[in-house]
Structure 1
């Protein structure tokens, strides 16, 4: 089979550090076009990967013959651009959160179905080695009945790594709609749904803007979540962790406690009620700071699903369910 021809729409940090690198490293893809409203940014990416540069995504979709598109844009553009790409006959990998409302998510799912194309949401936490191993231990029954959890994703904020720094779209409600909850919280909602293998039925959130000046989106949130079987726990999403990134999850079960990305040396520690402790060195989680996994496996999985006609692990439906947890937390905060 000839290589998949791919285009990346949006040339910010996530594109530069993840999507383009990972497509370039994948033997079955060819980067043919890139697009960004910032012409200089588009040109720079195009030169590096010998692709065509565009500043208008509609023009790109009309002109180029492409098989797949990565949508790496501000949140409010995820749905319209993904739908346009699906309607143009492309498979779509969309950055998280997949959309800014349930209705937008539904429209994306419908567009994928009616065009018979793959829609995948880039929730990379499902591919992290420690998370995959933890799921395996839970499914094997090693942990027993799960009672509780806590999960956190916090760092100093996108101003440290976003292409536009303090002027980033992440801080603009019109473009981002959600702040730390959309940026980080949705990752953890998706991870918990994956690990626990059940849905959340009740969500309560304290969602604040108390860290950064002159922004109109949330930057610090703590949520309480309850699953259909009665597992309760907390989810924190924050841009207030100034010194060190925290991307940890702890699962408290009947026979064991699993500590994921909660130790500097071991990516997973299983502490059993009989006193046994098993420490796994599985390579660190990918991080915006230096170090961590160099390949998130997101692109590889997306490409494999297209080539072998498989349903992506994080389909549109899965992306929507994770988005709904975040929307529910934010809605609960307004009451």
Structure 2
């Protein structure tokens, strides 16, 4: 079988730590091009992997005609670049949040459909071993119905993660559109939808910039969610967890509680009402300090090689984005927002 010819558009940290090494490790992939507005960045990767380097993605699409691309750019560019790539006949893996608006998300889905290519969104939390295990336990029914939950993602902020540090696009409203909610909150809206096999029906939120001086994007959000099943819970996203990064989820159910990512060694803990305690060591959740394989790249390439639509589709990405957009609307209006 011929290899999937992949181009990486945007050579920042997510490419450096996840996409590039995971493509390189996948035997079905040939990395053919790198694109970055900073010429030295794309050139360095091109030299390392024997690929071509570009500063203009349109030039790359026309010249290289890749089979697939990763779109790892500032949030404002996700939609236009993904649409151009789909129109050039490439399968698209786009980082989250997939788009800045619902209209953009719909246009991306339409472009992929029209061109007969796959659109996948990089919601890697679904694929992390503790979350996969938690989903399996929930689906088994032993915990009964989920009644309430809290899910949270907080770290000290993108300045420690981004290749550009404090000068990163993450802090520029025009490029980022949204801050901690687009970076971390959307991961959690996707995760809770996935774990509960349910959709969010109502959102209320407090979102603000509490501590990151000189930026207009949000650095903190606390949201209340009601699911269609009736379950209620909280979703927190923060860039000011300066000590004690958190990427945990706790689900209180009819028959007990499930704790995910609350313990360093036992990544999933189930405490049943009858006193039984089950602990699962299934592998860690990735952190900025300790990268684990995301699973996203392998899933994307498997979709292409087997011609199977990705489970983390554009439609799924859009549903998770709409929760975040509703939260911003709640903050702006002071109302509880219903999602259709």
TM-score range relative to shorter protein: over 0.9
Residue matched to 1:15? 15
Instruction: Say if 2:313 is the partner of 1:315.
Output: yes
Q: SS in structure 2 opposite 1:333?
A: helix
Aligned length: 333
TM-score of the two chains, using structure 2 as the length reference? 0.97
8 A contact 2:17–2:291 mirrored in 1: no
Residue matched to 1:273? 273
1:39-76 deviations in Å (ceiling 9; x for gaps): 11111111121110000000000000310000000000
Q: Tell me the distance in 2 between the aligned counterparts of 1:48 and 1:237.
A: 36
4+ residue segments displaced more than 6 Å: none
Q: SS in structure 2 opposite 1:100?
A: coil
8 A contact 2:148–2:233 mirrored in 1: yes
Residue matched to 2:160? 160
Residue matched to 1:298? 296
Q: Tell me the distance in 1 between the aligned counterparts of 2:221 and 2:321.
A: 15
How big is the shift at 1:292? 4.9
Q: SS in structure 2 opposite 1:334?
A: helix
1:108-166 deviations in Å (ceiling 9; x for gaps): 00001000100000000000111111111111101101101000000000001101000
Residue matched to 1:77? 77
8 A contact 1:209–1:216 mirrored in 2: yes
8 A contact 2:65–2:88 mirrored in 1: no
RMSD over aligned Cα atoms:
0.7
Residue matched to 1:140? 140
**Structure 1 residue corresponding to 2:326, chosen from 309, 325, 328:** 328
Residue matched to 2:192? 192
Aligned pairs (5 A) from 1:18-57: 18-57=18-57
Residue matched to 1:63? 63
Q: Tell me the distance in 1 between the aligned counterparts of 2:182 and 2:218.
A: 9
8 A contact 1:301–1:312 mirrored in 2: yes
How big is the shift at 1:309? 1.1
TM-score of the two chains, using structure 1 as the length reference? 0.98
More deviation in 36-45 or 20-29?
A: 36-45
Residue matched to 2:181? 181
Q: SS in structure 1 opposite 2:257?
A: strand
8 A contact 1:283–1:292 mirrored in 2: no
Q: Tell me the distance in 1 between the aligned counterparts of 2:50 and 2:180.
A: 35
